[in-house]
Amino acid sequence: MNRRDFIRLSGLTSLATALPASLNLHAAPQDFEGKFLVTLQLIGAWDVSSICDPKMNVPGEDEINHWAQNGETQTAGKIQYAEFAGNTSFFDKYHNDMLVINGIDAQTNSHNAGVTHNFSGRISAGFPSLTSLYAAIHGADLPIAYINNGGYTETAGVIRNTRLDDADSIQNIVKPTSARWNPTDKWIPDEDWELINQYRNSRLIEKLNSSTLSVRERLAVSNYKSALDSASILTDFSTALDQAGDLHEVERGTEYWSNLKRQIQLAMISMKSGVSISADLNIHGFDTHQNHDVLQGELLAHTTDCIDFFWEYAEEMGIADRMVLVVNSDFSRTPYYNATDGKDHWPVGSAIVMEKGASWGNRVVGLTDEAQNVIPINPVTLQPQENGGSVIYPKHVMQSLRDYMGISDNPLVTPFLFNNEESFDFFSASKSTPQNADPRNSVRV
């Protein structure tokens, strides 16, 4: 039995038949068989020169990276990376499944603007995240179609977001008549619950037929109806949570704590159960204005460990071949240290897109010079073109991801179009941007 049939047979859709057709905002989704979309938001600004856009030190100039005193720029497949924070095992294992986009100009040193720009494609507020658009198009009636764990949360009203950090509360939603501490102990008799439902449905119809509701009130009531209609699907999620066993505990570093692995587990369990389409994961702590190498080293090592866990858990859940993961941050860190051995804000950063077995893997597009300044490229050939080339902005990354995920032409996207004058062919498997051989590898400073 598919999910639509289950909802129909459960009787939870009977309320919808009593409502005006104009109030059914979205068609009930078919069982979703497409890709799942996840973003990993590294809040605070990661140091891309210590991971996917490696920089050695230049004689006579400020030191860019302490690790470059003894380490070298390394290569896995066709992807260069920094010899820092245990990066080698990560790139050796996953280079074939990743696209690195370097030289993304966020045009800001402000955290709020950087997060907004990189995860919506527009530097000013108001555009929804890629993940919320994707969920609204493919699963608007699912109970928790779009999971957001913090970071950039804007939906622009296209869909609700769900903060899923308390898995135990799901049991109370799925079994509202039972005590949370003992699901077999009913504290509302079945006949009383039936009366409650009848009164609730009557009041809901009355509200939706009212001519005095404001637009915002009508949207809130309609969202409530949508949640009721799809509530039964949460039973699958509840069962999967029971079967998953203990979830990961919080992990701590010198100045950070992270529940990222738990976020990953809950997102994948919800996707496997058919209640979610997309999710935003996040971890904070990258704003390393002092003690940079220690703090970024711990965080980058934790990040790559969690990405490895992401793919291993996806394999365990049987959905690894449907996952698309986008890793990005506010912007990056300066190509030099400050007086407290930290690094400050730098607008030029990178993003990593991952998918198992993707034809476009093992590639790098975009380019920066030895001081992490953007080198323009030709948007069609992706070759360096300092005169007449184009700079990569977050809007180009977002547009390319919209195209790749197949949502660019959906009417829901129309109010949120970018003013791009050029289109970068990021996902063409035959094109990449040559990364200059770094002569500083032979000039140790």
**Three-class DSSP labels, 173-189:** HHCCCEECCEEEEECCC
Please enumerate in sequence order all residues whose Cβ is within 8 A of that of 169, keeping only pairs 6 or more positions apart, or say none: none
Residue range 27-50: mean pLDDT, rounded = 86
Categorize the per-residue pLDDT at 231 as very low, low, confident or very high, splitting at 50, 70 and 90.
low
Categorize the per-residue pLDDT at 183 as very low, low, confident or very high, splitting at 50, 70 and 90.
low
Which amino acid, one-letter code, is at 401? Answer: L
CA 328 remoteness from chain centre: 8
Please enumerate in sequence order all residues whose Cβ is within 8 A of that of 442, keeping only pairs 6 or more positions apart, or say none: none
Domain residue ranges of the chain, discontinuous segments joined by +: 32-166+247-438
User: For 50-108, how does the pLDDT look when each residue is reduced to its tens digit (9 = 90+)?
Assistant: 999 999 998 888 999 999 999 999 999 999 999 999 999 999 999 999 999 999 999 99
Provide the 10 A C-beta neighbour count for residue 5: 10
Query: What is the CATH number that goes with domain 32-166+247-438?
Result: 3.40.720.10
**How far apart are the C-alpha atoms of 232 and 30, rounded to whole Å?**
15
**How far apart are the C-alpha atoms of 416 and 393, rounded to whole Å?**
16
User: For 275-293, how does the pLDDT look when each residue is reduced to its tens digit (9 = 90+)?
Assistant: 999 999 999 999 999 999 9
**Phi, psi at 207, each rounded to 5°:** -65, -45
User: For 109-150, how does the pLDDT look when each residue is reduced to its tens digit (9 = 90+)?
Assistant: 999 999 999 999 999 999 999 999 999 999 988 888 999 999
Question: Does 35 have pLDDT greater than 70?
Answer: yes
- CA-only gyration radius of the chain, Å: 24
- Tokens linked to 389: 């080339």
Percent of the chain with pLDDT over 90: 67
Q: Higher model confidence: residue 220 or residue 339?
A: 339
User: For 416-444, how does the pLDDT look when each residue is reduced to its tens digit (9 = 90+)?
Assistant: 999 988 999 899 999 999 987 655 544 44
Q: What is the pLDDT of residue 143?
A: 83
Nearest to 39 by CA among 158, 139, 161, 201: 161
Question: Does 26 have pLDDT greater than 50?
Answer: no
Categorize the per-residue pLDDT at 180 as very low, low, confident or very high, splitting at 50, 70 and 90.
low
Q: How far is CA 297 from CA 17, 52, 353, 374, in A?
A: 57, 14, 21, 24
Q: What is the pLDDT of residue 18?
A: 32
To the nearest whole number, what is the mean pLDDT of the chain?
Answer: 87
Residue range 293-306: mean pLDDT, rounded = 98
DSSP secondary structure letter of residue 77: T
Nearest to 328 by CA among 114, 21, 91, 15: 114
